[in-house]
Chain A
């Protein structure tokens, strides 16, 4: 039998020299934990459908240089923080300097602040379930810390643009930590983009810590190129009456993985998770979500849609875990999938673990193709096949696209979708 593959020692590189000492120490400590870390295989339950897309050549171990200049990023009406290969670019960024909302690079933290942060990094994630996130903690070069004081509200969305330059093989480790104190409120847009065409890995970790009554709206848009393997993890911890809303929109690539873990730890907390995935050619996309109902009286609502064309492969795994004390939990998970070709594959799996007896938990998953009867109805009105296909495919995700709370993102998504339609539906 072949020995189980482990992470190549090439990936255990020193670095992080620009970080404050406590973060550097954390990074090194996490690094030692990675020696001989097993890599996911077909037999690893949470990577069953996706391990074959993970291809970490040693050349990809090097941290991508941040010497370059960020390319023109998407229009970001609002505030903007630009990261290039995981390192913040202050010159390209434009965000307010406020007393009650502090937005800073990890590199700019005092040792005391860095020490506090170091004690909190990874605290929102179950790193056994998102094993690849451990690599981020061992390799991040910089990060973004956002701290909202009680009642603070950012008046416009904050765009965090993560660009990687795939001009040479290598990797980048974007990192974000958001601390939202009581009743604070922010809308964040994480955009992952790339230039260049050499094989690279982007390994991201974003953490949201919501105190009582805090409200975070998070938009995550992934449009990286076809040489980027993206492995991302988002951890969310919610206290009493807090609200977390996420809109994850992703277009496929050679490997796309996003783990979203939400812990509802205070009564009355609620989360709403929307997701749209679109894949074509030989692309892949895998969303794993996990909602932990720890406290009673929490609500979760999850709606994910996958569209797979050509010979692409989309995966959705939605876990809901209702703990014993989480009475009166309300959980609703819905996943619908659309196959646009016979060669495409979609795997969907709801995983429910319910230990409380007085809960409402609904879940549904479907996989289907475009409805012939509907298509006939549309073309019988003179609408062309191509347009009819587009209308019906759009109908599948319309609601989720409409719900994206930032117009600029909605527009970018529509442009990407139009390219997808252009590629997928030819005029008869």
Chain B
């Protein structure tokens, strides 16, 4: 489904991704792990098409189509979804209006009729319950005044509504307490399906206790330096990143949030 070949990307003239190679098939869950600053969010943002990041080399295809030629909104309509590490607050645009506009943009793209306000309200209420968000959140501004955990649940809610082909979850586990982690991982597990791929970007392995990945990759210094099965995540948990020769001061001091 997703094929990344020798991807190089830089931000503000500084090279961050230095030759990424990755193949993800439909139905698979891949975890990308790595210390802070290794380029995980950069990779996620590049996949979603953030123009602040400049792709300087390599290629990305989604189901054979060249992703790099597509605008962000086209990529989204083709099925790419990024759950942001830092979801944006947009006061003045209600969550409900935002979600309905997004769902209708997708529907229009697929040649389906738009969903009306009443129908959508029903759907949105159901999905908000699934991620344990009070439907009252729908009326508030997008992420406005949401706690960190509420923002992450809102991201998962969007994924559930938009039903992407490829969901990229950038540290969707960070900043969550145990209960919220359970809610979020249930949501992610609900997304798992034969025709969908999931790319879980994470610093810690604890999400992987709830969502078992098919493949685990270690990203360091802008390159994938090791790939393996889920046992690699466990090994990282036990031995830290230092074992792979990565200078990892932050990680050594952190024990999960």
Point out residues on A near B: beta carbons under 8 Å: 372-374, 376-385, 387-388, 391-392, 394-396, 398-399, 428
Contact = CB atoms under 8 A, between A and B. Distances in A.
A383 B97 CA distance: 11
B98 interface: yes
Contact of A391 (B76, B81, B98): B98
Interface stretch (B84-92, B196-204, B231-239): B84-92
B177 to A, nearest CB: 25
Given A376-B50, A392-B90, 9 more contacts: A378-B98, A379-B71, A379-B73, A381-B76, A381-B98, A381-B105, A394-B92, A394-B93, A395-B91
A385 B73 contact: yes
B42 interface: no
Contact of A381 (B51, B92, B97, B158): B158
B188 interface: no
B21 interface: no
Contacts of B97: 391
B31 interface: no
Contact of B88 (A374, A387, A391, A428): A374
Interface in B69-105: 71-73, 76-77, 81-82, 84, 87-88, 90-93, 97-98, 101-102, 105
10 contacts: A376-B48, A379-B76, A380-B76, A382-B73, A383-B98, A383-B105, A388-B73, A392-B90, A395-B90, A428-B71
Given A379-B72, A394-B92, A387 B49 contact: no
B207 interface: no
Contacts of B91: 395
Pairs A-B, 6 closest by C-beta atoms: A395-B92, A382-B76, A381-B102, A377-B88, A379-B73, A382-B105
B162 interface: yes
A377 B84 contact: yes
B105 A384 contact: yes
A246 B90 CA distance: 27
A342 to B, nearest CB: 18
Contact of A382 (B88, B109, B142): B109
Given A377-B87, A428-B71, A382 B102 contact: yes
B151 to A, nearest CB: 11
Contact of A383 (B48, B87, B102): B102
A390 to B, nearest CB: 10
A383 B90 contact: no
B220 interface: no
A383 B84 CA distance: 16
B101 A391 contact: yes
A425 to B, nearest CB: 14
Contacts of A379: 71-73, 76
Interface of B: 48-52, 71-73, 76-77, 81-82, 84, 87-88, 90-93, 97-98, 101-102, 105-106, 109, 141-142, 158, 162
Contacts of B109: 382
B87 A387 contact: no
A142 B51 CA distance: 59
A380 B82 contact: yes
Given A382-B105, A383-B105, A376 B92 contact: no
Nearest to A376: B50
Contacts of B52: 372, 376
Contacts of B93: 391-392, 394-395, 398
B141 to A, nearest CB: 8
A200 B128 CA distance: 56
Nearest to B88: A377
A428 B93 CA distance: 22
Nearest to B142: A377
A380 B73 CA distance: 5
Contacts of B106: 382
Contact of A396 (B71, B92, B105, B158): B92
A399 B144 CA distance: 15
Contacts of B50: 376, 380
Contacts of B98: 378, 381, 383, 391
Contact of A380 (B72, B92, B141): B72
Contacts of A387: 101, 105
B90 A377 contact: yes
A252 B52 CA distance: 34
A392 B106 CA distance: 19
A372 B90 CA distance: 11
A354 B60 CA distance: 62
Nearest to B78: A382
B88 A383 contact: no
A265 to B, nearest CB: 36
Nearest to B89: A374
Contacts of A399: 92
A274 to B, nearest CB: 15
Given A376-B50, A391-B98, A391-B101, A383 B92 contact: no
A385 B74 CA distance: 10
